[in-house]
Copies of this chain bind each other. A is one copy, B any other.
């Protein structure tokens, strides 16, 4: 088969309207060159019969290398979890941990249908960039900057990351600036970040309004809520991907809307850490682009975006006591098209002519897919990630019939296990 020029034939295909059509998806180079109906013939074919095609899932907020901390500390109070368990291990992480942690994350993401992710971590984010380059995924990477400790150095690393990697790998790698949060970066420092990012025309990825404590601290320290403080630093004018947005005032929702902030909703992490429930129904009604993210694997505990999509749909309904809130097709649109927009990516996240060929084929043969009245509903409410059959990103096949094409899973697992053991051995 010509791997640069092929057709997925006779596949059921998702549209954000919720409609499902059987069609042929023509891929040329990195793009969808045509969507056709009816019979197609030729040699370069992927048989789409019994498959459901969606855009690749976009994980709009994660910390990939934190896979190394999965199941290391759970069911703890937030500050015990962070201060006693997570931070001490993170302080021991070396360059090779960042690489192999992200490599394991890439395996997990591809196998669960994710084709793009927004990552904030550090140091050594260039190791994550290498994993993105090698895996065939898209990554919007930012150096997580905690301003209190060596803030200037970290900011300089984010600048270097941008200069070295933004636009690399046929544009699959983009770089954002990653001021961690208002409770780790004072306003004066955020202004410095804004100044550096503005010079490069870079966008911002930041944790915002995750916990009640964060809001209270902001009001105590600055007399204002976090979005009001951050708005004055100039960061919101650069284009922001704001992770969490759990606790929002009406004024803050107005700021988000006016400044076209994109929100990464992380229902699994917000539930597990008992942070609260983001008012996504209200945000969506205001036209805000609400994407979905898993957060890191130590607070989720996986990188399974289908699970996150289901949680977003279910949690919105019980939160608003409205069974019509966030229907299946909208949840899937959040996980795909809105995810791409959240990452600042153009022409990604829809199965349409001219869009980048980021495509997942889901196998509809399992018991959970029967009867097949409505594939969108089946995917969002019934299936699990093991139904991911084939994954294409930027026109390249990353997995086919559940076989990884770009990464060596067994080698990665072995290397990863060595890193995990060294980090946690006393």
Q: Residues of A at under 8 Å CB distance from B? A: 67-68, 70-72, 74-78, 81, 104, 107-108, 111, 268, 270-277, 297, 300-302, 304, 307, 311, 313-315, 317-318, 320-325, 327-328, 367-368, 370-375, 377-378, 381-386, 409, 413, 416-417, 420-421, 424
Contacts and interface: CB of A to CB of B under 8 A. Distances in A.
B276 A367 contact: no
Contact of A327 (B74, B273, B315, B322): B74
Given A317-B272, A327-B74, A302 B111 contact: no
B271 A384 contact: no
Contact of A314 (B268, B323, B385): B268
B274 A323 contact: yes
Contact of A371 (B311, B382, B417): B417
Contacts of A409: 367
A322 B274 CA distance: 6
Nearest to A383: B302
B384 A384 contact: yes
How many copies make up the complex? 2
A318 B274 contact: yes
A12 to B, nearest CB: 13
A318 B269 CA distance: 10
A74 B377 contact: yes
A420 B374 contact: no
Contacts of A304: 368, 384
Contacts of A416: 370-371
A417 B75 contact: no
A280 to B, nearest CB: 14
A321 B276 contact: yes
Contacts of A384: 304, 307, 384-386
A272 B311 CA distance: 10
A129 B128 CA distance: 54
A383 B274 CA distance: 20
Contacts of A318: 270-271, 274-277, 315
B381 A327 contact: no
Contacts of A327: 74-75
A297 B273 CA distance: 29
A322 B78 CA distance: 9
Contacts of A107: 367
A370 B417 contact: yes
A377 B74 CA distance: 7
A77 B324 contact: yes
Given A318-B277, A384-B304, A385-B384, A370 B76 contact: no
7 contacts: A71-B377, A72-B374, A74-B327, A76-B324, A111-B367, A302-B382, A371-B424
Contacts of A302: 368, 381-383
Given A270-B318, A320-B274, A420 B370 contact: yes
Given A72-B373, A75-B377, 11 more contacts: A74-B381, A270-B318, A272-B317, A273-B323, A274-B325, A297-B382, A300-B382, A301-B382, A307-B384, A370-B416, A385-B386
A104 B314 contact: no
A267 B327 CA distance: 17
Residue in A81, A270, A384 with the greatest tally of chain B CB atoms within 10 Å: A384
A14 to B, nearest CB: 14
A367 B104 CA distance: 7
Contact of A301 (B81, B270, B381): B381
A108 B373 CA distance: 17
Contacts of A373: 70-72, 420, 424
Nearest 3 pairs between A and B by C-beta?
A386-B386, A371-B420, A75-B327
